[in-house]
């Protein structure tokens, strides 16, 4: 199953780093009989290799089930110390510091299946306290104060979250276009400033902008282009018709030549037969 595969991957990762894994028993709810095991260890990498997850303050968690999101993991480990951030990934690996997602419409990524997580604490003592949780009983993911939605209620919440507010979307698109226009204006100003100026080796960069800048098409220009395309298509069809007619006339001419050739053969044969000597 996926859980056993994740445990195998966790054991391989632990053997590479030389760190031991601790098993944390968690249950989705109180009524669940069999607990689920989270494999945790201190995240250890070379200095500067992982800028997003600082050493000694990061807890590496394997075998994270699909119903455990960032809020659930943050709530589970908040008893060990103040949690700074929780990062859930598809597979373990060195990561770089990511920019904060500024768009909730275009940068959303749905997490599916068993994952790995990096829990960053404010202080290093939180990592050791989290590893000590393996000696305690199963932790509950869904409680009465913080229930985790499942079934039809989860589907309804997902559907409601998928509905986009047109005003918010328009405001975000307008802000993005303003930033884009500003960036393009800066690039054009920089290109205009550097145009015609030789570099260190004496070369001058030549662009097509000054030769013939493109103009936006109007409706009349679009109609003229469509009319030209229509005339070109009509001429092509007419030329194809004349070519077909030419082929047909050529074929008829060849057939007439063959018929005349056969008639000439018969006439020559008749003339040869009439020239024979008949004494009687």
Each residue of 8-65: pLDDT tens digit?
444 444 444 445 788 888 888 888 888 888 888 888 876 666 667 888 888 899 888 8
**CATH code for the domain in which residue 122 is found:** 3.30.70.330
Pick the more confident residue, 269 or 110: 269
Does some domain include residue 52? yes
Separation of alpha carbons 172 and 178, rounded Å? 10
Average the pLDDT over 268-275 and give the result: 84
Contacts by 31-40 with C-beta closer than 8 Å and gap 24+? 35/138, 36/3, 36/63, 36/65, 37/3, 37/7, 37/63, 38/62, 38/63, 38/64, 39/6, 39/7, 39/10, 39/63, 40/130, 40/131, 40/134
pTM beyond 0.85, yes or no? no
* Predicted pLDDT at 163: 82
Average the pLDDT over 103-131 and give the result: 79
Q: Provide the edge-to-edge strand list for the sheet that holds 83-89.
A: 83-89, 115-121, 58-64, 36-42, 22-27, 139-140
Does some domain include residue 85? yes
Domain of residue 148 covers: 22-161
Q: How distant, in Å, are the alpha carbons of 215, 234, 265 from that of 274?
A: 87, 61, 15
Q: Is the pLDDT of residue 207 over 70?
A: no
- Give me the chain's average pLDDT, please: 77
Q: Is the pLDDT of residue 226 over 60?
A: yes
* Predicted pLDDT at 266: 92
Does some domain include residue 79? yes
Local confidence band at 2 (pLDDT 50, 70, 90 cut-offs): very low
Does some domain include residue 264? no
Does some domain include residue 47? yes
Local confidence band at 209 (pLDDT 50, 70, 90 cut-offs): low
Q: Are 62 and 116 in contact (CB under 8 A)?
A: yes
Does some domain include residue 134? yes
Q: Which of 90, 84, 35 is nearest to 62 (CA)?
A: 90
* Predicted pLDDT at 129: 87
Q: Is the pLDDT of residue 85 over 70?
A: yes
CA-only gyration radius of the chain, Å: 40
Average the pLDDT over 95-106 and give the result: 57
The total number of structural domains that make up the chain = 1
> Alpha helix locations (H) across the chain?
2-17, 70-77, 125-131, 151-162, 166-194, 219-274
């Amino acid at each position: 199953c996926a859980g056993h595969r994740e445990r195998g991957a966790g054991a391989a990762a632990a053997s590479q780093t030389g760190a031991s894994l601790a098993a944390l028993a968690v249950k989705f709810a109180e009524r669940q009989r069999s607990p689920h095991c989270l494999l945790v260890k201190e995240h250890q990498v070379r200095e500067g290799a992982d800028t997003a997850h600082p050493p000694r303050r990061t807890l590496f968690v394997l075998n994270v089930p699909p119903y455990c999101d960032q809020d659930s993991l943050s709530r589970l480990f908040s008893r060990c110390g103040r949690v700074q951030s929780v990062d859930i990934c598809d597979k373990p690996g060195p990561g770089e510091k990511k920019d904060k997602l500024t768009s909730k419409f275009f940068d959303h990524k749905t997490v599916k299946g068993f994952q790995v997580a990096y829990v960053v604490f404010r202080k290093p003592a939180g990592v050791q306290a989290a590893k000590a949780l393996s000696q305690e009983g199963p932790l509950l993911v869904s409680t009465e104060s913080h229930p985790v939605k499942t079934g039809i209620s989860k589907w309804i919440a997902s559907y409601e979250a998928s509905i986009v507010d047109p005003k918010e979307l328009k405001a975000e698109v307008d802000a993005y276009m303003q930033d884009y226009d500003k960036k393009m204006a800066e690039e054009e100003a920089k290109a205009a400033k550097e145009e015609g100026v030789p570099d260190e080796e004496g070369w001058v960069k030549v662009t097509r902008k000054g030769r013939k800048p493109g103009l936006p098409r109007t409706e009349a220009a679009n109609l003229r282009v469509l009319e030209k395309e229509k005339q070109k298509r009509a001429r092509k069809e007419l030329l194809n018709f004349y070519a077909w007619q030419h082929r047909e006339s050529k074929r008829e001419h060849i057939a007439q030549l063959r018929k005349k050739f056969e008639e000439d053969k018969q006439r020559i044969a008749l003339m040869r037969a009439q020239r024979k000597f008949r004494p009687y």
